[in-house]
Amino acid sequence: MKYKIDLTDSYARCLDFDGWSGMECYASLPIIETDTSTLRMHLENIPINMYDEIWRDQILSVNPKSIINIGKDLIILVKQALLTIENIRCYDLKVMHNNQDYYYSSGLKFNIKDRRMVCGGKDIEHLDSNIYGKVIFNGNVFLELEEENILPFIIGCDDLVGGYKGITKINHQKESEVVMKNKSLDISRFNNIKSPIWDFDFLMEYFSDCDGYYEAIKSYPPTNNSSEIELNE
């Protein structure tokens, strides 16, 4: 059974890219469809919150017998998923590979009301690589997954995978899969442009936390637009 969850107004609360649970999320380098301004990223081993009806109902409306029905205060572990971000305006990429940082910027620019999303994880294909992506967009965000790739992870305060040992086992299994692929990273895809999007003070000045998503409160590069001035007075 396949599901397509709309996360446009709640992606920041649903997806756990930070690894707070101890589970290591994996991600692919982003795939950009320039003709449709769409970004796609394959995710593996990612914890996803299912405690809110806005996400649960989108699955249960398709499959009332889904395994997520075991509890409402639930976090699931998804073995494979596809993240899609539509109408992207620009994106920035940072990859830490073999203790060295590589940057790519498509050219940072955005308007008031555009949204910002952070995504990434350990590299699906390249050993000793971590991917960090920051995407500016004004479209929808979708997560596609299948029932067979859902594993109940945490209900309330109780984990369902065997505690620290279980989490460590899953992390080691995933790392072994990357070792088997043993692909080399193509450094030529990076343009070594590090934009201001990586600066914390910049994020605080230009974006607001809207309890589920991050929205621009100023345009960048700065303009003399009167409507922007009024908004921030």
Q: Are the beta carbons of 38 and 86 closer than 8 angstroms?
A: yes
Q: How do beta strands 26-27 and 115-123 pair? A: parallel
Q: Which value, to the nearest 10 degrees, does the dihedral of the CA atoms of residues 85, 117, 30, 139 take?
A: 20
Domain limits, the chain? 2-232
**Confidence band (pLDDT; 50, 70, 90) for 224?**
low
Cβ-Cβ contacts under 8 Å for 140 (sequence gap 6 or more): 6, 8, 85, 86, 87
Is residue 157's pLDDT more than 90?
Answer: no
Kindly calculate the radius of gyration of the chain based on its CA atoms and give it in whole angstroms: 19
Write down the pTM of the prediction. 0.92
Q: What are the pLDDT digits (tens) for 118-133?
A: 999 999 999 999 999 9
**How many residues are present in the chain?**
233
Q: Which residue has the tokens 């997954």?
A: 145
Would the pLDDT of 156 be above 70? yes
SS3 128: coil
Question: Mean pLDDT, the chain, as a whole number?
Answer: 93
Percent of the chain with pLDDT over 90: 86
Strands (E), 138-198: 141-146, 150-155, 158-159
Q: Which residues contact 15 (CB under 8 A, 6 or more apart)?
A: 7, 46, 48, 49, 83, 119, 143
Q: What are 24's two structure tokens?
A: 């290591």
Q: Which residue has the tokens 């555009």?
A: 114
Stated as kind and residue range, the H or E segment containing 3 is strand 2-6
Instruction: Check residue 174 and report its DSSP letter.
Output: H
